[in-house]
Every structure is written in C-alpha cells, then in structure tokens.
Amino acid sequence: MKEAKVILDTERLRLRSWLDRDRDLFREINADPKVMEFFPVRRTHDEADAVLLRLNDTITETGLGFYALELRETGEPMGFCGLSLANMPAVFPVETVEIGWRLATRFWGNGYVTEAARALLHFAFDKKHLDAVVSFAVADNHRSTAVMRRIGLHRVASRDFDHPRVPDTHPHLKPHVVYAVTLDEWMQQRRGAGWA
C-alpha cells in the first residue's frame, strides 16, 4: 500500500485506495463500540489489518470496494465509503453491488457520508454502468437508513432479510432492511433535480 489510487474527489473529500498510514484509523473504527453498534463483532488490530489488506486487494482486482475516505484539505483519513459486491448469494443475485460506509465518530454529523455516497452513485451509474445499487442495514440503524433516503435510495421491504452471517446470539442484529435505486430511477432523479 505505497501509493493511493484516487477513485474520485468531491468538494471536501477524496475516495481512494488504502495506505499504510490508514491502519490506525481503520483499527479505531473497527474497535469503537459506537461505530460498531450494529455489528456483532469488534476486531482486534491484527483482524482489522487483515480486513484492510483484503479491501485493498478487492479494489485492485475489481475497481470496486470500500474506499478510504479522507478530507481533501488535510489528507486526514476518516473511514470509508464505497461500492462493493454484496457477496451474499443466499440473499442477493451474485452481481448485486451495495453502497456502504463507516466513519470515525469525530467526523459524524458533517454530511461527509452523504456527500461521498452521492458522488459514488454518479460513479456507479455514469462510469461503471451499473443497473442498480442496493444498501442494507440493521432495521434499527436509523442513522444509516436516513443517509440511504437522502442519497435517493428507497425502501424495498420485499427484499428485507435476516443477515446470514450474524450469529443467532445477536437476534436484534439479524433483521436487515434493504434500500435500492435502479439506473432508470437515478436518471429520473437527475432530470427532476436538473442534473442531466
């Protein structure tokens, strides 16, 4: 991880591949009980490092993944926002791409995720020519579902599911809600907002 591949820039943010200097931030968000409130695990430093390497490998191999998110002005890493294969064949078709995010708590409340995720939807449909993008979260994770609505996704209740990788010892974390937007819906939103 010696040189970052820049995916895109927004007014305040940069989405890029991961660097060695991001390890401390990635360890922090994977161990923070507030950030990980809706996940059944907290990762050790070694586990977080291994996940970070896998994320970068996926970005290199596919061009998709959960990209590092940094402040352009300072270069400070904040967390991640990205597009990745959902990788849950029991729930979604194999080619399904999800949009997801996670930030260190000190960056919450500034609209960074909304800004990055909107830009990624442009990237998904204009550059990657995807047919649709989904997002999902624990049903009680109102902070994430609010972002999903702000960026133009809508609830698809018929696709809600119990997460197969959440252990039965965490029953309150199993129910997940699904939001999605198709290319056609995205284009209609663009025309309605005067973007096209």
Residue spans of the domains in the chain: they are 6-193
- In this prediction, residue 189 has a pLDDT band, given cuts at 50, 70 and 90, of confident
Q: What is the mean pLDDT of the chain?
A: 93
CA 18 to chain CA mean position, Å: 14
Which fold, 6-193? Aminopeptidase (3.40.630)
Q: How confident is the model at residue 194 (pLDDT cuts 50, 70, 90)?
A: low
d(CA 149, CA 142): 10
Identify the band that residue 40 occupies on the pLDDT scale cut at 50, 70 and 90: confident
How would residue 137 be classed by pLDDT, with cut points 50, 70 and 90? Answer: very high
pLDDT of residue 4: 84
Euclidean distance between CA atoms 87 and 91, whole angstroms: 9
- Residues 7-23: what's their mean pLDDT? 96
pTM for this prediction: 0.92
Sign of the alpha-carbon dihedral angle for 88, 90, 96, 98: negative
